[in-house]
Chains A and B, each alone.
Chain A
Amino acid sequence: MPRPAKKDNITIRLLNPKKSSGNFSFPVEGFVAAGFPSPAGDYMDKELDLKELLVRNESSTFFVQVCGNSMVDAGINDGDILVVDKSLDPRDDSILVCFVDGEFTVKRVSKIDGALYLIPANPQFKPIKIDESADFRLWGVVTYMIHKFR
């Protein structure tokens, strides 16, 4: 049943709209009744939540920030934020956050002729071979990247 409209007088008072800068708003006095209930009411879904998409495993997901440009060809730029899941196992071609020779770094991992390499995505940088002598530790697997355009 549609709700009967209220009979109250509705006055809309503009409060000197010129003065407000940008988007201008005005208060509404009285009660604005909708004639029909929204037909979309029955189809209401919850809002899209980016976190739901970016974070699959909440307890093991961390955000880190990129500095440097060894991964630009993979679309990873200086200042970007990476979503890192520590629970995942790396696959060939995974992009990893790891700890190598005293610093955190982000690189693509690849197995070449049975040996593991960290491969930068920028021809100006050299691949790093991971052998026993390297102080290497996997920290997490990168699942998403967040890049700011403006």
Chain B
Amino acid sequence: MFALVDANNFYVSCEKVFAPWLEGKPVVVLSNNDGCVISRSDEAKALGFKMGEPVFREKGLVEKSGTTLFSSNYTLYGDLSNRMMKLLGDFSPEVEVYSIDEAFLDLRGIKTSLQEYALRIKDTIRKNIGIPVGVGIGKTKTLAKIANHIAKKQNGIFIIDTERLRDWALRNTPVEEVWGIGRQYAKKLSSMGIRSAYDFTLLNSNWIRKNMSVVGLRTKEELLGCSCIPLEMMMPAKKNIATTRAFGKKLTDIRIISEALATHAVRCAEKLRKQKSNARFVTVFIHSDPFSANEKYIYKTYTVTLPVASNTNVDIVKAALSGLRRIYQQGILYKKTGVIVTELSDESCVQENLFEEGNNPGLKKITKVADLINRRFGRDKIKLAIQGNNKEWKLRQEKLSPRYTTCWNELLKVKA
């Protein structure tokens, strides 16, 4: 049996751990730069806040309903996520961290009743960390996902352990909610009259293989209760890495935009080093405000190929800035810029270029030392001059909660 444990409204729940007075109240967490809605409490959902909607459109609703807004505090969410995953490790030797707020557990060999076990998982995470979760259990990962979906609408636990329940669950799950069936396929299936997960299992396997590849076939098998997607214990190294942020206010000066972009590029390089990868391509993009009523929307992108794959700050920043110079136009009010690195390869095997100078070993050393210093004394204590100091492009995070769990100066205050 597999369990899928999934936190309810995770980012909002993280904020509530340190703000219990928000229990039962509408709460919304906003994306970077306080732009769009990315997490909603049940009360905020009921009020009609939509995922991904720019919050400024709902200004009236926010004020009238007394909804509490938060800027996203990923430092806090990341820490609480780590705690949750660590705790789940006590319940199963095999845990696949599927995303920041959900994990699959292998429950083979559990001796107690699954109902009891699921309840224990749910209660422990609620008590020890303060995060409410739903637990879905099924014979396959796909069924565990479906069970979790149903659990969310019930009291947080649902177990598909009989044929009768499986049948009922599949009939009550719309096909577009099945894990592994993308939106494109869902559209096609619904045009054919396939509405539920149950309908999907009646499809001819040959047809599925022909039209939806082997992934679709696997999904059918899984829905029928035959496990064919194993737990992935190791997080596969990411195939591409991106760092993109909107500016706090619209910018037009290339010097300031360069500072922002250089900082994003450094973050990308750091992420590369963390997973021990080098990148070959550095893609830069820049665009104006897509929500603006009176400016034309402009989006430009450019990809720079590095002569030798690298992950040093200097190399990635250099490439990013040369890309920016190609796409930047004077006089435009820009809203956002970002860097994406692709064609990643293992750090340990670098393909040298026959005609050009290889990676500068000195640069690697400097980067290493800078990383050590920054890890010890705080992010960006040592940085490239181009990253600048004037933070005109800095994110707007007006409603940021303290970093309660990672910063000594921002601990929760308790009255004595």
Residue ranges of A at the interface with B (Cβ–Cβ < 8 Å): 57-60, 62-72, 76, 78, 81-82, 86-87, 97, 99, 102-107, 120, 137, 139
Task: Please determine whether B413 and A67 come into contact, CB atoms closer than 8 angstroms.
Answer: yes
Tell me if B111 is interfacial: C-beta within 8 Å of chain A.
Answer: no
CA distance in complex: A20, B83 (Å): 46
Please give the distance in Å from B185's CB to the nearest CB on chain A.
38
Residue ranges of B at the interface with A (Cβ–Cβ < 8 Å): 20-21, 82-84, 86-87, 124, 127-130, 404-405, 408, 411-416
Task: Please determine whether A68 and B404 come into contact, CB atoms closer than 8 angstroms.
Answer: no
Task: Please determine whether B414 and A66 come into contact, CB atoms closer than 8 angstroms.
Answer: yes
- Please indicate the chain A residues that have their CB under 8 angstroms from the CB of B414 in the complex: 64-67, 82, 97, 104-106
Task: Please determine whether B129 and A86 come into contact, CB atoms closer than 8 angstroms.
Answer: yes
CA distance in complex: A137, B126 (Å): 13
CB-CB nearest in chain B for A121: B416
Knowing A62-B405, A137-B20 are in contact, say whether A70-B416 is a contact too (CB < 8 A).
Answer: yes
Task: Please determine whether B87 and A139 come into contact, CB atoms closer than 8 angstroms.
Answer: no
Q: Of A62, A76, A99, which one neighbours B416 at CB under 8 angstroms?
A: A76
Task: Please determine whether B83 and A64 come into contact, CB atoms closer than 8 angstroms.
Answer: no
Task: Please determine whether B411 and A106 come into contact, CB atoms closer than 8 angstroms.
Answer: no
Q: Of A60, A82, A102, A120, which one neighbours B83 at CB under 8 angstroms?
A: A60
Task: Please determine whether A105 and B87 come into contact, CB atoms closer than 8 angstroms.
Answer: no
Task: Please determine whether B83 and A106 come into contact, CB atoms closer than 8 angstroms.
Answer: no
CB-CB nearest in chain A for B126: A86
Knowing A58-B86, A102-B21 are in contact, say whether A65-B413 is a contact too (CB < 8 A).
Answer: yes
- Please indicate the chain A residues that have their CB under 8 angstroms from the CB of B129 in the complex: 59-60, 86
Q: Of B86, B87, B416, which one neighbours A106 at CB under 8 angstroms?
A: B416
Task: Please determine whether B83 and A59 come into contact, CB atoms closer than 8 angstroms.
Answer: yes
Task: Please determine whether A66 and B416 come into contact, CB atoms closer than 8 angstroms.
Answer: yes
Task: Please determine whether A62 and B412 come into contact, CB atoms closer than 8 angstroms.
Answer: yes
Q: List 9 A-B contacts (CB under 8 A).
A: A59-B87, A60-B128, A62-B404, A66-B414, A66-B416, A76-B416, A104-B413, A105-B415, A107-B416
CB-CB nearest in chain B for A103: B415
